[in-house]
Amino acid sequence: MDETFKELFAVIEDRKEELPADSYTASLFTHEKGQNAVLEKLGEESTELILAAKDDNQQEIICEAADIVYHLLVLLSMKDISLEQLEKELQSRR
């Protein structure tokens, strides 16, 4: 799992740098609403996760949780926060 997060975050960082026109991730960095678009997606995906959990729909829970993780990583990249910083914070809470 650690490698999956690192690989995904590296792709997000690359999209932020290169801004390919056909990339959804790059569009989040160039969207005129900027970080608001990502924050809105986090809110939307959180609501969808809650509803999937309420309905006990395991596949939807997995999909919505993945959407939240992805958009959270985009937000961290936007704020120039590394995975290492997040990991350090989580370790400090153990």
CATH class as words, domain 2-92: mainly alpha
Q: Which two tokens stand for residue 68?
A: 């939240």
Q: What share of the chain is helix, strand, coil (3-state, %, to 5)?
A: 80, 0, 20
Q: What is the pTM of this model?
A: 0.92
Q: Which two tokens stand for residue 38?
A: 């990502």
Q: How far apart are CA 9 and CA 4, in angstroms?
A: 8
Please report, to the nearest 10 degrees, the dihedral formed by the alpha carbons of residues 15, 42, 38, 1 taken in order: -20
pLDDT digit string, tens, across residues 16-63: 999 999 999 999 998 777 789 999 999 999 999 999 999 999 999 999
Supply the pLDDT for residue 90: 95
